[in-house]
Amino acid sequence: MARIIETLEDFLGEIEKGYNSGDWLVPFVDAGVSVAAGIPATAQLNEFLTLCVAMALGLDEETLTFIPRWHPKLNPWPEINGPWKRLALIANQTIKEWAFKDLKDKEDRAFIRLAREAFGDLSDWRLSLLFISRILPVLDLSFKNKHLRPIELCDGDPHIIDSFFHHITKEKLPGMPHRMLAHFAATLRTRVVQRF
């Protein structure tokens, strides 16, 4: 049965007792443990991927400067620097405006439905990333209206998801918490670290 451990001494005593009895330790760490290493926090990932969703839909191309549409299979991931936070706010508002448009307009009906799905997925960075991975790259640029160019969704491409994680961790070194977990892993008989 779970119980609340109120003091640091009790906490360390429980770890020692489990260790002495041969138990395995599974550390639970917050996603913020990687911030010191330069990995974006959850809120930043939400904002950044909102910008990427808008770029993949081809929204606000004049401001976002990716013409005609951005796609991570055809273009590099944008850098997480410069005025991207301001652009993410604009992107969020633009997707929201499209998501709440009336479906009476036949020309834009398919795009409005797509924008609604995208807007719903903006609630969590993992959903936003999955949405981006589901967009098939559009190579047919013959449509004058950028929103009428067909966007097709697939089941999702794990390579796009992997490329995103590679992008946000490139040139980053492990922070102190990462090094401490690695250092004590064998001593504490830790094979798994759970992140929440």
The predicted-structure confidence for 154-182, as pLDDT tens digits, reads as follows 899 999 999 999 999 898 888 888 888 88
Q: Categorize the per-residue pLDDT at 62 as very low, low, confident or very high, splitting at 50, 70 and 90.
A: low
Q: Are residues 27 and 122 in the same domain?
A: no
Query: Does residue 12 sit in the same domain as residue 96?
Result: no
Same domain, 124 and 155: yes
- The number of distinct structural domains making up the chain is 2
Same domain, 135 and 46: yes
- Whether 123 has a pLDDT exceeding 90, the answer reads yes
- Maximum mean pLDDT: which of 9-18, 20-29, 50-59: 50-59
Taking alpha carbons only, the member of 113, 147, 148, 117 closest to residue 130 is: 117
Is pLDDT of 10 > 70? Answer: yes
Domain residues for the domain of 25 are 1-39+174-196
Say which residue, 67 or 110, is predicted with more confidence.
Answer: 110
- My answer on whether 151 and 76 are in the same domain is yes
Name the DSSP letter for residue 49: H
Average pLDDT, the chain: 81
What band does 66 get if pLDDT is binned at 50, 70 and 90?
Answer: very low
115 in the Ramachandran plot: left (φ > 0), alpha (ψ -120 to 50) or beta? alpha
Q: Residue 196: is its pLDDT beyond 60?
A: no
Check pLDDT > 70 for residue 26. Answer: yes
* Domain match, 131 and 110 both: yes
Task: Please say whether the beta carbons of 73 and 137 come within 8 A.
Answer: yes
The confidence score (pLDDT) of residue 130 equals: 96
Q: Which of 105-114, 134-143, 158-167 has the lowest mean pLDDT?
A: 134-143
**Which parts of 58-184 fold into alpha helices (H)?**
61-64, 84-99, 109-121, 125-134, 158-169, 176-184
60 and 127 in a common domain: yes
Shared domain for 9 and 84, answered yes or no, is no
Same domain flag for 17 and 86: no
**Per-residue confidence (pLDDT) for residue 134, from 0 to 100:** 95
Q: Both 11 and 48 in a single domain?
A: no
Q: Is the pLDDT of residue 146 over 70?
A: no
Residues 6+ apart with CB under 8 A from 17: none
Pairwise CA distance, residues 110 & 106, whole Å: 8
Query: What are the phi and psi torsion angles at 59 (to 5°)?
Result: -85, 145
Distance CA 149, CA 155 (A): 20
**Do 145 and 57 fall into the same domain?**
yes
Q: Are residues 96 and 150 in the same domain?
A: yes
Instruction: Please tell me the distance from the alpha carbon of residue 160 to that of residue 15, in angstroms, as a whole number.
Output: 40
